[in-house]
Amino acid sequence: MKKRSAIVVGATGLVGQALTQQLCEDDNYVDVTIIVRTAPQYRHPKLTIKVRDFERIEARDIDFAHEVFCCLGTTRKAAGSKVAFERVDFTYPLLIASLAKKKGIPHFLVISAMGANEASRFYYSRVKGKVEKALIAMDFDQLSIIRPSLLRGERAKFRLGEKSGAALLKVMKPLLQGPLRKYQAIEGVQVAQAMRCIALYQPVQKVKVYTSQELQNIEPPLQNEDDKKTFDWSKRG
């Protein structure tokens, strides 16, 4: 496999942070660029950090890469208003996608949410559904839509609702089997692993939606026990 380059947007969040580290430690990638509002503490020889104001991001801020991983996301409560929420979860992802499209980047991967539907009666799900529809209309060579259930993991910023929901789902996990397995909470690091594996190993599809249950089952191909130790990201903290 030829060496690859990647861009991660939203690299300081739960999934984005884990994904950035995984990409930097993956021998398939020689260059990883993150576009952030605040520089993280993490450093790596492969890593390029671009601190940008997303309101003023331009085409020159996006270099060619094989993939763009869009991990931007917040909640209405955390954002403070509907306007602020839509700016992070709708406006910015579409802006980044449009710039990536102009640069000829073939694969755009975006974190959406379980239940995303522009016709949903739930505001959050409607916004996510609208983003998905707009991205599909951009006609990327490959668009991967990631729909995790409730995310588990340690965030820099505490989210009470998410923490409480994850705790409840953990208690209910024995009951969430079979068709209900898709409602199990999923570790952010596991979503990151799935996104990396989708970029590297999954068959190319024009538009593909990955459910939370599918994300739990996506793993890199293993050649031997050493590979297993190297790639078992879901066990990492």
Q: What is the pLDDT of residues 65-92, one digit of tens each?
A: 999 999 999 999 999 999 999 999 999 9
Contact status, residue 108 vs residue 100, Cβ threshold 8 Å: yes
In the predicted model, is pLDDT for residue 170 greater than 80?
Answer: no
Contact status, residue 65 vs residue 109, Cβ threshold 8 Å: no
Q: What's the domain count of the chain?
A: 1
**Structure tokens belonging to residue 148:** 């995790």
Entry pTM: 0.84
Q: Which CATH number is 98's domain given? A: 3.40.50.720
Instruction: Write out pLDDT tens, residues 16-29.
Output: 999 999 999 999 99
The CA-based angle 210-216-222, given to 5 degrees, is 105
The CA-based angle 234-236-237, given to 5 degrees, is 120
Contact status, residue 193 vs residue 22, Cβ threshold 8 Å: yes
Up-side HSE of residue 146: CA atoms within 13 Å toward CB?
29
**pLDDT band (50, 70, 90) for residue 231:** very low
Please give the single-letter amino acid code of residue 149: S
User: How far apart, in whole angstroms, are the C-alpha atoms of residue 106 and residue 85?
Assistant: 28
**pLDDT band (50, 70, 90) for residue 184:** confident
Domain holding 86, by residue range, is 4-235
